[in-house]
C-alpha cells in the first residue's frame, strides 16, 4: 500500500463554554475511527468513574485531571485526523473568558474555525469574542455547527433564527466563507453521517464540509516573498547561506531580493530545503538560500521580493492583551517579531474594542482579554507588513521584561471591521 500525499488543514474550535466544542471533536474522532480501541476504552472508563454516562465524548480532548473533575476545557488540546487526502490538525479550544489566551493560541495557527453554538442560546458574548478574535487573527473560513438540535426537537425555525444571528455577525467581521450546519454532537447527527432527523437540511455534514473546504493559504496573491533570517550557515569551503521559513509568495532561484532593513539588493543563487536543492520553494518550507553578493545579513534581517514591506520603528497595531495586570500607554515591554526581539513601548492607546457592538471606544487602559488599538514604538527597526497581507511579517508578541511571560498578541494595522 502506497499512502497518498496529503495536504494539511489546521482548524480550531471556537465558541462559548458548554456549547459542545469538545463533544463535537470527540464525536468527529470517534465516528471517523481516528481513536484507537484502548483510547476509547480509557474514555469509557473515565466517564464511568466520574458518573457521566457510558461515554463522555468531551473526555477525548479534555485530558487534564482538573478538566475532567470540573467538566471544562482549560487549555487547547491538539488532536489529529487523516482522510486519504488530508491531514487535519485540530485545536480544541476552551470557551471560558479567563482562558481566552489559550483560545487565541489555538486559533493563531488555524486555517479554519469550527464555530460551535447551542441552538437554544444563540450567539453569546463569548461567541462574539471568539469570532472577533478569529477574524482579527486572519481566519477567513468558518464552519458553524449549530449544536444540540436534539434539544429543540430538530426544529428548522430554531436553526434558522440562530443562523441569521450568526451570519449577521460573520458578515460584519468579514469572514469570506460561512457554512452553517445543524448538528447534534451528542448523538452524532450530521457530524460524520448525514442525519435522518434533519430531512429539511440538504447541506453537508461537518466532516464533508471539512473535507471540501479550501486548505487555505496565509498568503494573498501578489504579495511578495518573505524570508526572515533565523540562522546563518557556514558552508564547507567558505560562503554562507541564510536559513529561515519562507512565507508569502513562491521564491525562485534567480529572483531579485532586498535585504532589509539594510536595503541591499541581491539575487538568490541557490535554494535548499530539507530534501535537498530545489529551483523554487513555497510558503511554509524551511529553506536556506545563497546570495550573489557578500552581505552582513544575520538573524533578525529579512529577505523580500517586491512589493517590499515597510521598515519602521513606529506603527499602528491591534493587540489582544493577556497580561494579568492592565496595561496603559507608556508601558515598556519586549517585542518579538519574526526572528527579531527588541525593546518596545505602547506609545499610545487609541481605543478599546467593545465586544458587544464592535465599536472602538476611548480608554486609558487595556484589561485582561481586552482588544485595543495602539501605536507601538520599538528600539530597533522592524520590517513589517500589514497583518492582512501577511500573517508572519504582520504579527508580533509582547513579552513581560521581568517574568518573560507572553502578555499580548499583536497584529500590524487595523482590521477592516474596527
Ligand X SMILES: Nc1nc2c(ncn2[C@@H]2O[C@H](COP(=O)(O)OP(=O)(O)O)[C@@H](O)[C@H]2O)c(=O)[nH]1
| CA torsion through residues 96, 102, 105, 110, sign | negative
Residue with Cβ nearer other proteins (124 or 334): 334
**Which residue pairs from 157-164 have beta carbons closer than 8 angstroms and sit at least 24 positions apart in sequence?**
158/119, 158/120, 159/119, 159/201, 161/122, 162/117, 162/119, 162/122, 162/123
Query: Which residues between 195 and 224 bind ligand X (CB under 6 A)?
Result: none
Residue with Cβ nearer other proteins (47 or 184): 47
All three cell numbers of 94: 476552551
Q: Which does 184 bind (CB under 5 to 8 A by kind): ligand X, Mg ion, other proteins, none?
A: ligand X
Give me the phi and psi of 121, to 5 degrees please: -110, -25
**Those residues with Cβ within 8 angstroms of residue 247's Cβ, 6 or more apart along the chain or in another chain:** 218, 219, 225, 226, 227, 283, 284, 390, 391, 392, 393
What is the rounded distance in angstroms from the CA atom of residue 286 to the CA atom of residue 123?
40
Query: Which residues between 20 and 59 bind Mg ion (CB under 5 A)?
Result: 21-22
| First and final C-alpha spacing in the chain | 52
73 lies in the binding site for Mg ion (CB under 5 A): yes
H or E segment at 288? strand 286-291
Q: Which of 406, 412, 236, 229 is nearest to 315 (CA)?
A: 412
Residue with Cβ nearer ligand X (74 or 329): 74
Q: Which does 80 bind (CB under 5 to 8 A by kind): Mg ion, other proteins, ligand X, none?
A: other proteins
Question: Cis peptide before 268, with omega less than 30 degrees from 0?
Answer: no
- Shortest Cβ 353–ligand X spacing (Å): 24
| Binder among 58, 179, 190, 369 for ligand X (CB under 6 A) | 58
Map residues 103-142 to x or -, x wherever contact with ligand X holds by CB under 6 A.
Answer: -------------x--------------------------
| Binder among 31, 150, 165, 316 for ligand X (CB under 6 A) | 150
| Binder among 102, 147, 247, 258 for ligand X (CB under 6 A) | 147
Q: Which does 278 bind (CB under 5 to 8 A by kind): other proteins, ligand X, Mg ion, none?
A: other proteins
- Shortest Cβ 228–ligand X spacing (Å): 35
| Interacting residue ranges for ligand X, rule: CB under 6 A | 17-23, 58, 73, 95, 116, 147-148, 150-151, 184-186
Interface ranges with Mg ion (CB under 5 A): 21-22, 73
Amino acid at each position: 500500500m502506497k499512502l497518498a500525499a496529503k495536504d494539511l488543514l489546521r482548524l480550531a474550535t471556537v465558541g462559548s463554554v458548554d456549547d459542545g466544542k469538545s463533544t463535537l471533536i470527540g464525536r468527529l474522532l470517534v465516528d471517523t475511527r481516528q481513536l484507537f480501541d484502548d483510547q476509547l476504552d480509557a474514555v469509557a472508563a473515565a466517564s464511568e468513574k466520574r458518573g457521566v454516562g457510558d461515554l463522555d465524548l468531551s473526555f477525548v480532548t479534555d485530558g487534564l485531571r482538573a478538566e475532567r473533575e470540573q467538566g471544562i476545557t482549560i487549555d487547547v488540546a491538539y488532536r489529529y485526523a487523516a482522510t486519504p487526502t488530508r491531514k487535519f490538525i485540530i485545536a480544541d479550544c476552551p470557551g471560558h473568558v479567563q482562558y481566552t489566551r489559550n483560545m487565541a493560541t489555538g486559533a493563531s495557527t488555524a486555517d479554519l474555525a469550527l464555530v460551535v453554538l447551542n441552538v437554544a442560546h444563540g450567539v453569546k458574548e463569548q461567541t462574539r469574542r471568539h469570532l472577533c478574535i478569529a477574524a482579527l487573527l486572519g481566519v477567513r473560513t468558518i464552519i458553524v455547527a449549530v449544536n444540540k438540535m436534539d434539544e429543540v426537537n430538530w426544529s428548522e425555525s430554531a436553526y434558522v433564527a440562530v443562523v441569521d444571528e450568526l451570519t449577521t455577525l460573520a458578515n460584519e467581521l468579514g469572514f469570506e466563507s460561512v457554512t452553517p450546519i445543524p448538528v447534534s454532537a451528542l448523538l452524532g447527527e450530521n457530524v460524520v453521517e448525514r442525519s435522518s432527523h434533519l430531512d429539511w437540511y440538504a447541506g453537508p455534514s461537518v466532516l464533508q464540509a471539512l473535507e471540501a473546504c479550501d486548505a487555505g493559504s496565509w498568503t494573498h496573491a501578489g504579495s511578495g516573498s518573505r524570508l526572515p533570517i533565523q540562522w546563518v550557515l557556514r558552508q564547507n569551503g567558505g560562503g554562507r547561506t541564510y536559513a529561515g521559513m519562507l512565507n508569502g509568495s513562491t521564491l525562485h532561484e534567480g529572483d531579485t531580493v532586498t535585504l532589509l532593513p539594510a536595503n541591499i539588493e541581491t539575487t538568490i543563487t541557490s535554494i535548499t530545503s530539507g530534501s535537498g536543492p530545489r529551483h523554487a520553494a513555497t510558503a511554509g518550507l524551511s529553506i536556506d538560500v545563497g546570495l550573489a553578493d557578500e552581505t552582513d545579513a544575520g538573524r533578525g534581517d529579512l529577505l523580500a521580493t517586491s512589493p517590499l514591506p515597510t521598515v519602521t520603528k513606529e506603527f499602528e497595531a491591534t493587540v489582544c492583551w493577556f497580561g494579568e495586570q492592565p496595561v496603559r500607554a507608556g508601558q515598556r515591554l519586549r517585542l518579538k517579531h519574526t526572528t527579531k526581539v527588541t525593546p518596545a513601548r505602547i506609545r499610545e492607546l487609541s481605543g478599546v474594542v467593545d465586544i458587544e457592538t464592535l465599536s472602538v471606544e476611548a480608554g486609558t487602559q487595556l484589561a485582561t482579554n481586552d482588544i485595543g488599538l495602539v501605536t507601538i514604538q520599538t528600539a530597533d527597526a522592524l520590517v513589517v507588513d500589514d497583518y492582512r497581507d501577511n500573517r508572519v511579517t504582520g504579527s508580533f508578541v509582547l513579552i513581560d521584561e521581568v517574568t518573560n511571560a507572553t502578555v499580548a498578541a499583536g497584529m500590524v494595522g487595523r482590521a477592516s471591521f474596527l
